[in-house]
């Protein structure tokens, strides 16, 4: 796959984002990681010292901080050729017990944070920019317990498609990955043993995906080989979205 230039990854200090950073470094791409978790950012800095990667602590909901960090990143590694919005938070709880404050916070990070990043990336882009936003199968199917998370991810899908429409004529492609259950730090905290049984049994491939499998799809959408793909939602879900009745 032909990926080049400088890619910014939010939530890049853990899980899917971290796997994407590693895969891009292997391709010789310069990477900037933005993540709210200071300790995880410091671990990234230690792990990749001397490589073409910069890691910054940054909250994607803070537009001033985002603008500052992206300007700094473009100064160090050149204008952006790619942006991957992986930063996200999730809570599982019944709708009637979901505090409004929690609902707001999940929308703020997952949806508004991605929008802030897309706008800021446009300011720092090269003549071409590929944006990959990470939604979820829960933004396309109504999974119980996920009223805020599902709404935020459905919003990510439509926001991305509107941006793909508005910016497609300006050298910007905007696509979406909808992961199914992926074995990451987020899911290890979120899913109980019973949840794992339910998700595994509802997934035709009968297993969780791994973070590298999502990173591979992200790299494809960033790459030159995907040069005419815009506004697309690519499920990386072991068949979860396409399944009807599943067999034992």
Q: Is 20 in the site for ligand NAD (CB under 6 A)?
A: no
221 binds ligand NAD (CB under 6 A): no
- Name the one range near ligand NAD by CB under 6 A: 24-32, 47-55, 69-77, 84-92: 84-92
Structure tokens that stand for 63 in this block: 């537009």
- When binding is defined by CB under 6 A, the residue of 24, 74, 80, 86 that contacts ligand NAD is 86
Number of residues that bind ligand NAD (CB under 6 A): 31
Q: Which is nearer to ligand NAD, 37 or 126 (CB)?
A: 37
3-state secondary structure the chain: CCCCCEEEEECCCCHHHHHHHHHHHHCCCEEEEEECCHHHHHHHHHHCCCCCEEEEECCCCCHHHHHHHHHHHHHHHCCEEEEEECCCCCCCECHHHCCHHHHHHHHHHHHHHHHHHHHHHHHCEEEEEEEEEECCHHHCCCCCCEHHHHHHHHHHHHHHHHHHHHHHHHCEEEEEEEECCEECHHHHHHCCHHHHHHHHHHCCCCCCEEHHHHHHHHHHHHCHHHCCCCCCEEEECCCCCCCCCCCC
Contact 17, 11 (CB under 8 A): yes
**Whether 228 is catalytic:** no
The answer to the question of residue 154 lying near ligand NAD (CB under 6 A) is no
Residue 175 binds to ligand NAD (criterion: CB under 6 A): no
Does position 118 interact with ligand NAD (CB under 6 A)? The reply is: no
Binding mask 39-68 for ligand NAD (x = CB under 6 A): -x-----------------xxxx-------
Among 21, 35, 74, 172, binds ligand NAD (CB under 6 A): 35
The reply to whether 112 sits near ligand NAD by the rule CB under 6 A is no
Quick check: 184 binds ligand NAD (CB under 6 A)?
yes
Residue 47 or 128 having the CB closest to ligand NAD: 47
CB of 170 or CB of 188, closer to ligand NAD: 188
Query: Which runs of E-coded beta strand occur in 161-247?
Result: 172-179, 182-183, 209-210, 233-236
Q: Does 131 bind ligand NAD (CB under 6 A)?
A: no
Catalytic residue selected from 77, 149, 208, 240: 149
- Residues forming the active site: 149
Residues interacting with ligand NAD, by CB under 6 A?
Answer: 10-11, 13-17, 35-37, 40, 58-61, 86-90, 109, 113, 134, 136, 179, 181-182, 184-187
């Amino acid at each position: 796959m032909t990926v080049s230039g400088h890619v910014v990854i939010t939530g890049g200090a853990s899980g899917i984002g971290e796997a994407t950073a590693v895969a891009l470094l292997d391709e010789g791409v310069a990477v900037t990681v933005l993540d709210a978790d200071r300790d995880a950012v410091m671990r990234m800095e230690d792990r990749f010292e001397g490589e073409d990667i910069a890691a910054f602590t940054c909250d994607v909901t803070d537009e001033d901080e985002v603008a500052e960090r992206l300007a700094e990143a473009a100064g160090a590694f050149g204008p952006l050729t790619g942006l991957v919005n992986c930063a996200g938070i999730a809570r599982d709880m019944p709708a009637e017990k979901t505090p409004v404050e929690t609902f707001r916070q999940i929308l703020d990070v997952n949806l508004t944070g991605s929008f802030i990043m897309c706008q800021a990336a446009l300011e720092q882009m090269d003549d071409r920019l590929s944006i990959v936003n990470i939604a979820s199968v829960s933004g396309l199917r109504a999974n119980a317990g996920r009223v805020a998370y599902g709404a935020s991810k459905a919003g990510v899908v439509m926001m991305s498609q509107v941006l793909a429409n508005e910016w497609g004529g300006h050298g910007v492609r905007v696509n979406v990955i909808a992961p199914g259950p992926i074995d990451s730090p987020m899911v290890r905290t979120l899913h109980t043993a019973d949840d794992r049984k339910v998700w595994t049994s509802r997934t035709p491939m009968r297993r969780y995906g791994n973070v590298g499998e999502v990173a591979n799809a992200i790299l494809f959408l960033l790459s030159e080989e995907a040069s005419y793909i815009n506004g697309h939602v690519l499920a990386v879900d072991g068949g979860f979205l396409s399944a009807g009745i599943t067999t034992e």
